[in-house]
Amino acid sequence: MKMKSKINRLFFFLFLSMFFFAPLVSFAATFDNVIALGDSLSDNGNLYTVIGYPPSPPYYKGRFSNGPVWVEYLADIYNANLIDIAYGGAETGESPFPPGLIAQANTFLSYYPPPSNALFTVWAGANDILNGGTNVSAYAYNIVSSLNILAGYGAQDMLVMNLPDLGAIPLLDGSPDAEGTTALTMRFNLALKDALDVFESNYAGNLFRADVFSFMADVASNFENSTEAKLNSDGSQNDGSYLFWDSLHPTTEAHELLAEYSAASVPIPGAVWLFGSGIVCLVSFKRRKNGRIS
């Protein structure tokens, strides 16, 4: 009876641990490297280094914002090294300059040794649409093509972002093109989801997704102004908290929130491992008690 009581207490402790410790470890992903591919939303100064754009100041050290961009904050969250090969103006294809997403993936393979314990972030497609393109299936295919390149290189963890509502950015909000651009964004996100579903079914690594479309809509209420740009055309800045820095890009405050949201999209199931290990130990203990060594 005493042995049975001990076993029951052990099981009860393991049951409680799943609930009490899960919040502490369910998002305990750790990476040594963050490798960023994409466009101006992820560029930490690459385009500026080549052509001196965007003007800095008022832009922050070549970023298309008033401070660090989301992948910089994400690397800080993980205390990881950031390898950023994203370029402002990049589309999803193979354009040599600014290098498109596929070109970036190929460039990474050519110039960088395989990094250990790395999270690859992939975010592109906005420029394809804003430059007048409508073939959203092709853009989604390009993104998956870049993932296949990275997977062939050995990438085990990849985070893919969908697009925010491009019809709601200050450049287009309230314009005759806003509604059509919103619809096109939604078509792109659906095409990307379908393409990622197929990719994931054949991918041996971990594919994570961040729903930026929903994130931007949800986070808008955190800012005093979520429809206009903080930066004026004469270089002056409006007072108050703004979601958008210029007519296209978020403020660094929005980037920081996006990094936190994205980190939560990359869980490592530590709590499940903890609970599962406990169950294994418990089963093994029961077997030993009954004279069966596992």
DSSP string, 106-169: HHHHHHSPPPSSEEEEEE--HHHHHTT---HHHHHHHHHHHHHHHHHHT--EEEEE----GGGS
pLDDT of residue 19: 40
C-alpha 172/C-alpha 214 separation (Å) is 18
Cβ atoms 267, 79 nearer than 8 A: no
**pLDDT, tens digit (0-9, with 9 covering 90-100), for 117-138:** 999 999 999 999 999 999 999 9
Distance separating alpha carbons of residues 157 and 34, to the nearest angstrom: 10
Q: What pLDDT, on the 0 to 100 scale, is given for residue 16?
A: 40
**Which pLDDT does position 267 carry in this prediction?**
77
Digit-coded pLDDT (tens) for 198-207 = 999 999 999 9
- Do 123 and 213 form a contact (C-beta atoms < 8 A)? no
Residue-level pLDDT at 30: 87
Q: Are 163 and 143 in contact (CB under 8 A)?
A: no
Four-residue CA torsion sign, 11, 12, 16, 21: negative
Chain CA centroid to CA 147, Å: 14
What residues in the chain have per-residue pLDDT under 50?
Answer: 1-28, 269-294
pLDDT at 29: 65
Q: Determine the Cα–Cα distance for residues 80 and 74; give it in Å rounded to an integer.
A: 8
Which strand (E) or helix (H) includes residue 81? strand 81-84
Q: Are the beta carbons of 101 and 90 closer than 8 angstroms?
A: yes
Q: What is the pLDDT of residue 94?
A: 95
* Tokens matching residue 172: 């287009």
pTM above 0.85, yes or no: no
Tokens of 111: 């110039």
- The predicted pLDDT at position 103 comes to 97
